[in-house]
């Protein structure tokens, strides 16, 4: 006679189903969300265009910073501090755009420079310590009319070191090099510069908007009193997984045995497995549908929980079926009365 499959295994299977139903860790990990870029809310930047040109104009003309730009030091040959007005930055990836506000005007009438203005530079970072510098250039030279043009890609940035933590970030060590487009714009006005010429380095320190999100709350909650535009929201989920398996064994003088296990967890989940000696085996596997569709923190359906519950139902059903198939029936005694006929 083969031994019946232990009823204790039925209880273990029930406990596993309960663990899955209530979302205990079972090796399923939620995907990590990539850090998002943060809005730039303020700060300052330091950039002086080119020291040799500052010194040249300061020797006989005037240098006037305004509209958010100021001297970073004393004297007309000092570099400039620019106000950071806006932008978006992902410090971890060295990517983003930082917009500067300010205007620096050079004037040297004796040399026919009536106005050369650098206006509102913009730093664009593309990752790996690289990026570009754009700006608006206004000029009035000789007797020519004043011209204004926006030059994106005026210069390139390399070797930029971007660091950030929380709501602050900074850039340092950026080498700024004139592009062909930038050199063409300033070659005749600024003294014959060429593409590849290194101009003054650039740095900035900025503040960033917080990326913290409201903490998701599960269970029941309400907002407002329902009379003044308030709203109420309730989120609940109930999962029940139960499995009952019975195996029978009849033999003279053998005692009956019962082995059961029950596991429960909140919100509400119960798994029960019972093994008992009974005439016929039966298997029941039920997963009750949630009373209310589970929702995520933003009010949409919680797809992950729904999928987990469906997987629990399938796994528990298959497991109980295999357990039942492996449970042998006790052999039937052809002469239960015990009376034997002699031949």
Q: Is a pLDDT exceeding 50 seen at residue 184? A: yes
Q: What is the pLDDT of residue 44?
A: 98
- pLDDT bracket for residue 69 (50, 70, 90): very high
Q: Is a pLDDT exceeding 60 seen at residue 332? A: no
Q: What is the pLDDT of residue 193?
A: 86
CA dist., res. 121 & res. 188, Å (int): 21
Average confidence score pLDDT of the chain: 72
Lowest mean pLDDT among 114-123, 194-203, 227-236: 227-236
CA dist., res. 254 & res. 303, Å (int): 50
Q: Is a pLDDT exceeding 80 seen at residue 199? A: yes
128: left (phi over 0), alpha (psi -120 to 50) or beta: left
Report helix, strand or coil for 27.
Answer: coil
332 vs 163 pLDDT, higher one: 163
**Number of Cα atoms under 13 Å in the Cβ half of residue 243:** 32
Question: What is the percentage of the chain residues whose pLDDT exceeds 90?
Answer: 45
* Tens-place pLDDT, residues 295-327: 554 555 567 777 778 888 887 777 777 776 665
């Amino acid at each position: 006679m083969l031994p019946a499959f232990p009823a204790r295994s039925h209880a273990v299977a029930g406990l596993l189903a309960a663990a899955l139903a209530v979302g205990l860790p079972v090796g399923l990990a939620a995907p990590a969300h990539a850090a998002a870029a943060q809005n730039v809310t303020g700060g300052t930047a330091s950039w002086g265009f080119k020291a040799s040109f500052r010194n040249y104009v300061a020797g006989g003309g005037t240098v006037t910073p305004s509209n958010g730009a100021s001297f970073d030091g004393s004297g007309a040959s000092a570099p400039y501090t620019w106000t950071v007005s806006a932008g978006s930055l992902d410090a971890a990836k060295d990517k983003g755009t930082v917009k500067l506000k300010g205007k620096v005007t050079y004037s040297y009438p004796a040399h026919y420079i009536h106005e050369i203005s650098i206006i509102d530079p913009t730093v664009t970072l593309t990752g790996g310590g690289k990026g570009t510098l754009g700006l608006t250039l206004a000029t009035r030279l000789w007797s020519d009319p004043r011209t204004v043009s926006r030059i994106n890609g005026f210069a390139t940035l390399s070797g930029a070191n971007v660091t950030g933590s929380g709501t602050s970030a900074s850039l340092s060590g950026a080498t700024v090099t004139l592009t062909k487009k930038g050199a063409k714009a300033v070659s005749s006005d600024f003294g014959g510069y060429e593409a590849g010429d290194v101009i003054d380095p650039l740095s900035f320190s900025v503040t960033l908007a917080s990326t913290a999100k409201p903490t998701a709350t599960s269970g029941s909650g309400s907002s407002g009193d329902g009379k003044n535009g308030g709203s109420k929201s309730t989120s609940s989920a109930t999962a029940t997984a139960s499995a009952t398996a019975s195996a029978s064994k009849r033999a003279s003088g053998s005692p009956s045995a019962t082995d059961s296990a029950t596991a429960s967890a909140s919100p509400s989940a119960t798994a029960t497995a019972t093994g008992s000696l009974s005439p016929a085996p039966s298997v029941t596997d039920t997963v009750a549908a949630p009373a209310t569709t589970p929702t995520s923190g933003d009010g949409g359906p919680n797809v992950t929980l729904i999928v987990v519950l469906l997987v629990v139902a399938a796994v528990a059903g298959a497991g109980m079926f295999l357990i039942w198939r492996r449970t042998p029936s006790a052999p039937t005694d052809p002469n239960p009365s015990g009376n034997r006929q002699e031949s």
